[in-house]
Amino acid sequence: MLIAQITDIHAAPDNDHLQRFGQALSWLEQVGPDIMVLSGDLTDGGWNEGYEQIAAQLEKQAYPSLLLPGNSDDRSYMRQMWGNERWLPDSPGELLHFSYNAGLISLAGVDSTVSGQSYGSLSGRMRWLEKQLGEADGAPVLLFLHHHIFPSGIPTLDETMCRGLSEFEDLIKRYPDRILAVSSGHVHRPVAGNFARIPANICGSVCPANPLWFGSASVPPVRENPMLMIHRYDQGKISSHHVCT
Protein backbone atom coordinates (compact mmCIF):
# COMPACT_ATOMS: atom_id res chain seq x y z
CA MET A 1 0.00 0.00 0.00
CA LEU A 2 1.25 3.49 -0.88
CA ILE A 3 0.22 6.44 1.29
CA ALA A 4 1.14 9.89 0.01
CA GLN A 5 1.56 12.75 2.46
CA ILE A 6 1.42 16.42 1.52
CA THR A 7 1.71 19.21 4.03
CA ASP A 8 1.99 22.98 4.47
CA ILE A 9 0.70 24.36 1.19
CA HIS A 10 0.08 27.80 2.79
CA ALA A 11 -1.87 28.95 -0.25
CA ALA A 12 -2.60 32.70 -0.41
CA PRO A 13 -3.66 35.15 -3.14
CA ASP A 14 -0.15 36.64 -3.33
CA ASN A 15 1.88 33.43 -3.74
CA ASP A 16 2.24 30.54 -6.20
CA HIS A 17 1.71 27.73 -3.70
CA LEU A 18 -1.37 26.34 -5.42
CA GLN A 19 0.77 25.88 -8.54
CA ARG A 20 3.37 24.14 -6.39
CA PHE A 21 0.60 21.91 -5.03
CA GLY A 22 -0.38 21.07 -8.60
CA GLN A 23 3.25 20.20 -9.35
CA ALA A 24 3.27 17.73 -6.45
CA LEU A 25 -0.02 16.19 -7.61
CA SER A 26 1.33 15.80 -11.15
CA TRP A 27 4.30 13.88 -9.79
CA LEU A 28 1.97 11.66 -7.76
CA GLU A 29 0.08 10.69 -10.92
CA GLN A 30 3.15 8.70 -11.95
CA VAL A 31 3.21 6.85 -8.61
CA GLY A 32 -0.49 6.09 -8.19
CA PRO A 33 -0.87 6.17 -4.39
CA ASP A 34 -3.75 4.35 -2.75
CA ILE A 35 -4.60 7.31 -0.54
CA MET A 36 -3.27 10.76 0.36
CA VAL A 37 -3.04 12.56 3.70
CA LEU A 38 -2.89 16.36 3.84
CA SER A 39 -1.41 17.17 7.23
CA GLY A 40 -2.37 20.78 7.71
CA ASP A 41 -1.69 24.45 6.92
CA LEU A 42 -3.55 24.33 3.65
CA THR A 43 -4.04 28.11 3.37
CA ASP A 44 -2.86 31.36 4.93
CA GLY A 45 -4.71 34.40 6.19
CA GLY A 46 -8.17 32.85 6.17
CA TRP A 47 -8.21 32.62 2.37
CA ASN A 48 -11.34 30.54 1.88
CA GLU A 49 -11.03 30.49 -1.90
CA GLY A 50 -7.80 28.58 -1.41
CA TYR A 51 -9.71 25.75 0.26
CA GLU A 52 -12.13 25.68 -2.65
CA GLN A 53 -9.31 25.40 -5.17
CA ILE A 54 -7.58 22.67 -3.16
CA ALA A 55 -10.87 20.74 -2.93
CA ALA A 56 -11.33 21.04 -6.70
CA GLN A 57 -7.83 19.61 -7.25
CA LEU A 58 -8.47 16.72 -4.88
CA GLU A 59 -11.70 15.80 -6.64
CA LYS A 60 -9.72 15.18 -9.83
CA GLN A 61 -7.47 12.57 -8.24
CA ALA A 62 -8.07 8.84 -8.59
CA TYR A 63 -7.45 8.19 -4.88
CA PRO A 64 -9.22 9.39 -1.71
CA SER A 65 -7.74 11.97 0.62
CA LEU A 66 -7.74 12.54 4.38
CA LEU A 67 -7.24 15.97 5.92
CA LEU A 68 -5.97 17.48 9.15
CA PRO A 69 -5.99 21.17 10.08
CA GLY A 70 -2.83 23.08 10.95
CA ASN A 71 -2.33 26.20 13.01
CA SER A 72 -2.95 28.47 10.00
CA ASP A 73 -6.21 26.74 9.02
CA ASP A 74 -9.84 27.58 9.67
CA ARG A 75 -11.42 24.45 11.14
CA SER A 76 -14.98 25.66 10.71
CA TYR A 77 -14.48 26.43 7.03
CA MET A 78 -12.74 23.11 6.45
CA ARG A 79 -15.73 21.34 7.97
CA GLN A 80 -18.05 23.43 5.81
CA MET A 81 -15.96 22.79 2.68
CA TRP A 82 -15.52 19.03 3.00
CA GLY A 83 -18.46 18.03 5.20
CA ASN A 84 -18.60 16.26 8.53
CA GLU A 85 -18.17 12.83 6.94
CA ARG A 86 -14.46 13.61 6.43
CA TRP A 87 -13.91 13.52 10.18
CA LEU A 88 -15.16 11.28 12.93
CA PRO A 89 -18.43 12.26 14.59
CA ASP A 90 -16.95 11.41 17.98
CA SER A 91 -14.08 13.87 17.60
CA PRO A 92 -14.30 15.94 20.80
CA GLY A 93 -15.45 19.54 20.47
CA GLU A 94 -14.19 21.35 17.39
CA LEU A 95 -11.30 18.95 16.79
CA LEU A 96 -11.01 17.30 13.38
CA HIS A 97 -9.54 13.81 13.87
CA PHE A 98 -9.74 11.09 11.23
CA SER A 99 -9.51 7.30 11.19
CA TYR A 100 -9.28 5.16 8.06
CA ASN A 101 -9.25 1.37 7.94
CA ALA A 102 -7.19 0.22 4.98
CA GLY A 103 -7.39 -3.47 5.78
CA LEU A 104 -3.93 -4.56 6.86
CA ILE A 105 -3.10 -1.07 8.14
CA SER A 106 -5.06 1.75 9.77
CA LEU A 107 -4.41 5.45 9.29
CA ALA A 108 -5.24 7.83 12.13
CA GLY A 109 -4.94 11.60 12.26
CA VAL A 110 -4.96 13.59 15.49
CA ASP A 111 -5.81 17.28 15.30
CA SER A 112 -2.96 18.87 17.27
CA THR A 113 -3.92 22.50 16.65
CA VAL A 114 -4.66 24.91 19.47
CA SER A 115 -6.97 27.79 18.56
CA GLY A 116 -5.12 31.09 18.33
CA GLN A 117 -1.67 29.52 18.87
CA SER A 118 1.19 28.46 16.62
CA TYR A 119 2.23 25.58 18.85
CA GLY A 120 0.40 22.26 18.97
CA SER A 121 -0.79 20.04 21.78
CA LEU A 122 -1.89 16.47 22.35
CA SER A 123 -3.39 17.19 25.76
CA GLY A 124 -6.98 15.95 25.92
CA ARG A 125 -6.62 13.98 22.68
CA MET A 126 -5.30 10.70 24.03
CA ARG A 127 -8.63 9.26 25.13
CA TRP A 128 -9.82 9.49 21.54
CA LEU A 129 -6.62 7.97 20.18
CA GLU A 130 -6.66 5.16 22.72
CA LYS A 131 -10.17 4.30 21.58
CA GLN A 132 -8.92 4.05 18.00
CA LEU A 133 -6.02 1.83 19.03
CA GLY A 134 -8.42 -0.42 20.90
CA GLU A 135 -10.79 -0.70 17.94
CA ALA A 136 -8.32 -1.15 15.09
CA ASP A 137 -8.79 -4.96 15.02
CA GLY A 138 -5.11 -5.54 15.62
CA ALA A 139 -3.99 -3.68 12.50
CA PRO A 140 -0.90 -1.49 12.94
CA VAL A 141 -1.55 2.24 12.92
CA LEU A 142 0.29 4.91 10.95
CA LEU A 143 -0.35 8.14 12.84
CA PHE A 144 -0.43 11.66 11.40
CA LEU A 145 -0.26 15.05 13.14
CA HIS A 146 0.42 18.58 12.00
CA HIS A 147 2.90 19.61 14.70
CA HIS A 148 6.21 17.79 15.13
CA ILE A 149 6.88 15.75 18.28
CA PHE A 150 10.68 15.69 18.37
CA PRO A 151 13.09 18.64 18.17
CA SER A 152 14.10 19.57 14.64
CA GLY A 153 17.03 21.63 15.90
CA ILE A 154 15.63 24.81 14.32
CA PRO A 155 15.12 27.04 17.39
CA THR A 156 12.18 29.17 16.26
CA LEU A 157 10.21 26.18 15.02
CA ASP A 158 10.89 24.02 18.05
CA GLU A 159 9.28 26.72 20.18
CA THR A 160 6.03 25.76 18.45
CA MET A 161 6.36 21.97 18.45
CA CYS A 162 3.70 19.77 19.99
CA ARG A 163 3.08 19.92 23.74
CA GLY A 164 1.41 17.37 26.02
CA LEU A 165 3.82 14.70 24.84
CA SER A 166 4.08 12.90 28.18
CA GLU A 167 0.47 11.75 27.72
CA PHE A 168 1.33 10.43 24.29
CA GLU A 169 4.40 8.61 25.57
CA ASP A 170 2.30 6.97 28.30
CA LEU A 171 -0.18 5.80 25.68
CA ILE A 172 2.58 4.30 23.56
CA LYS A 173 3.80 2.35 26.58
CA ARG A 174 0.32 0.88 26.99
CA TYR A 175 0.16 -0.06 23.31
CA PRO A 176 3.83 -0.73 22.47
CA ASP A 177 3.22 -2.64 19.24
CA ARG A 178 0.32 -0.74 17.70
CA ILE A 179 1.80 2.45 16.25
CA LEU A 180 4.10 1.87 13.27
CA ALA A 181 5.33 5.43 12.94
CA VAL A 182 4.28 9.05 13.39
CA SER A 183 4.46 11.60 10.57
CA SER A 184 3.87 15.34 10.87
CA GLY A 185 4.51 18.63 9.08
CA HIS A 186 4.84 22.24 10.35
CA VAL A 187 8.63 22.59 10.03
CA HIS A 188 8.73 23.01 6.22
CA ARG A 189 11.73 20.69 6.08
CA PRO A 190 12.11 16.90 5.75
CA VAL A 191 13.44 15.48 9.01
CA ALA A 192 13.71 11.92 10.34
CA GLY A 193 13.77 11.18 14.08
CA ASN A 194 12.08 9.09 16.73
CA PHE A 195 9.80 9.42 19.71
CA ALA A 196 9.44 6.84 22.48
CA ARG A 197 11.36 4.38 20.28
CA ILE A 198 8.91 4.82 17.41
CA PRO A 199 10.03 6.22 14.05
CA ALA A 200 8.92 9.82 13.61
CA ASN A 201 9.12 11.87 10.43
CA ILE A 202 8.55 15.48 9.50
CA CYS A 203 7.30 15.81 5.93
CA GLY A 204 8.82 18.47 3.71
CA SER A 205 6.46 21.22 2.61
CA VAL A 206 4.76 22.21 -0.62
CA CYS A 207 5.53 25.84 0.21
CA PRO A 208 9.18 26.97 -0.09
CA ALA A 209 11.35 25.17 2.45
CA ASN A 210 12.73 26.75 5.59
CA PRO A 211 16.52 26.89 5.70
CA LEU A 212 18.42 24.29 7.70
CA TRP A 213 19.34 26.73 10.45
CA PHE A 214 20.53 25.67 13.91
CA GLY A 215 20.82 29.14 15.46
CA SER A 216 24.11 30.17 13.89
CA ALA A 217 24.89 33.75 12.90
CA SER A 218 24.50 32.95 9.21
CA VAL A 219 21.44 31.36 7.62
CA PRO A 220 22.35 29.10 4.69
CA PRO A 221 19.78 29.54 1.88
CA VAL A 222 17.97 26.60 0.31
CA ARG A 223 16.35 26.19 -3.08
CA GLU A 224 14.00 23.22 -3.01
CA ASN A 225 11.03 22.21 -5.14
CA PRO A 226 7.72 21.18 -3.55
CA MET A 227 8.22 18.20 -1.28
CA LEU A 228 6.09 15.30 -0.09
CA MET A 229 6.40 11.82 1.41
CA ILE A 230 5.48 8.35 0.24
CA HIS A 231 4.86 5.80 2.98
CA ARG A 232 5.02 2.23 1.67
CA TYR A 233 3.49 -0.57 3.72
CA ASP A 234 4.15 -4.12 2.56
CA GLN A 235 4.24 -7.44 4.42
CA GLY A 236 4.14 -5.81 7.83
CA LYS A 237 6.97 -3.36 7.12
CA ILE A 238 6.87 0.38 6.49
CA SER A 239 9.34 2.57 4.67
CA SER A 240 8.93 6.34 4.36
CA HIS A 241 10.45 8.24 1.47
CA HIS A 242 11.11 12.00 1.33
CA VAL A 243 10.57 13.24 -2.23
CA CYS A 244 11.47 16.57 -3.84
CA THR A 245 9.25 17.05 -6.90
Q: Look up the domain containing 43 and give its range.
A: 2-244
Angle at 6 between CA 204 and CA 200, to 5 degrees: 55
CATH value at residue 214:
3.60.21.10
- Which one, of 18, 34, 45, 100, lies nearest residue 67 by Cα? 100
| Total number of domains in the chain | 1
Rounded distance, CA 24 to CA 115, Å? 29
- Pair 203, 228: CB distance under 8 Å: yes
| Helix pair 17-29, 48-59: axis angle to 10 deg | 10
Q: What is the pLDDT along the chain (245 residues), one digit of tens a residue?
A: 999 999 999 999 999 999 999 999 999 999 999 999 999 999 998 899 999 999 999 999 999 999 999 999 999 899 888 876 666 555 556 899 999 988 889 999 999 999 999 999 999 999 999 988 887 677 899 999 999 999 999 999 999 999 999 999 999 999 888 999 999 999 999 999 999 999 999 999 999 998 888 888 888 878 889 999 999 999 889 999 999 99
